[in-house]
Chain A
Amino acid sequence: GDSVTQMEGPVTLSEEAFLTINCTYTATGYPSLFWYVQYPGEGLQLLLKATKADDKGSNKGFEATYRKETTSFHLEKGSVQVSDSAVYFCALINTGGGNKLTFGTGTQLKVEL
């Protein structure tokens, strides 16, 4: 079946540092890929998405590129802020999957001053 693997957390960075959170997936066909963010005490929010190979999703300074050849969708941000501290989830939806998301385990990001 489909699966998503994320790097273990927590990831701790200083403010203005460069962020990369790795995400790789296993799926047949051509899934759509998503990054969700969960702030403390809140539900998950869609951060960005990409629906086909080489698409780049971007939002709030975050970017991720759908790499079919490496089955990856790594999340990047050039300069993180304390307010970016949250848990980040990589996820996919596949054709025939009934609109169900398959989530990774989440990566906690802590940004310090």
Chain B
Amino acid sequence: DAGVIQSPRHEVTEMGQEVTLRCKPISGHDYLFWYRQTMMRGLELLIYFNNNVPIDDSGMPEDRFSAKMPNASFSTLKIQPSEPRDSAVYFCASSFSGGSWNQPQHFGDGTRLSIL
């Protein structure tokens, strides 16, 4: 069973460029989460979707960040324009609720983003 797949694994780009991170959740999962991890701030939830609909984007740092989920098997997180302080590891996770509220999340291996 394939896990959550993120691409790219590493991204290095210059300040001001647009960055697009991609995520393929586990097939059949109905929740998708985007997180950011840094040494200073730890693990932060940015946004999450249920059945492709954004439910809570209160963690998105500012308007430069946007996320979409056009279908059940694909999501993107976009940063435009990027800034050095956006450098972090970005994780995607998915879960299957099965009608319950307490199912565990499954994480991808992350995208390590460096903005120069």
Residue ranges of A at the interface with B (Cβ–Cβ < 8 Å): 31-32, 34, 36, 41-46, 49, 51, 89, 93, 95-101, 103, 105-106
Using CB atoms, name the residue of chain B closest to A93. B102
What are 23 residue pairs bridging A and B, where the CB atoms are less than 8 Å apart in the complex?
A31-B102, A36-B107, A43-B4, A43-B93, A43-B107, A43-B109, A43-B110, A44-B43, A44-B91, A44-B93, A44-B105, A46-B105, A49-B104, A89-B43, A93-B102, A98-B56, A99-B31, A99-B48, A99-B50, A100-B56, A101-B33, A101-B105, A105-B42
Of the candidates B4, B45, B55, B104, the one whose C-beta lies within 8 Å of that of A34 is B104
Chain A interface, >50% SS class? loop
**Contact in complex: B107, A99 (CB < 8 Å):** no
In the complex, B25 has a CB within 8 A of chain A: no
Distance (whole angstroms) from the CB of B62 to the closest CB of chain A: 21
- Interface band, chain B: 20 to 34
**Contact in complex: A106, B91 (CB < 8 Å):** no
In the complex, B75 has a CB within 8 A of chain A: no
**Contact in complex: B50, A98 (CB < 8 Å):** yes
Contacts of A46 in B (CB 8 A): 104-106
Using CB atoms, name the residue of chain A closest to B6. A43
Contacts of B102 in A (CB 8 A): 31-32, 51, 93, 95, 99
Contacts of B43 in A (CB 8 A): 44, 89, 103, 106
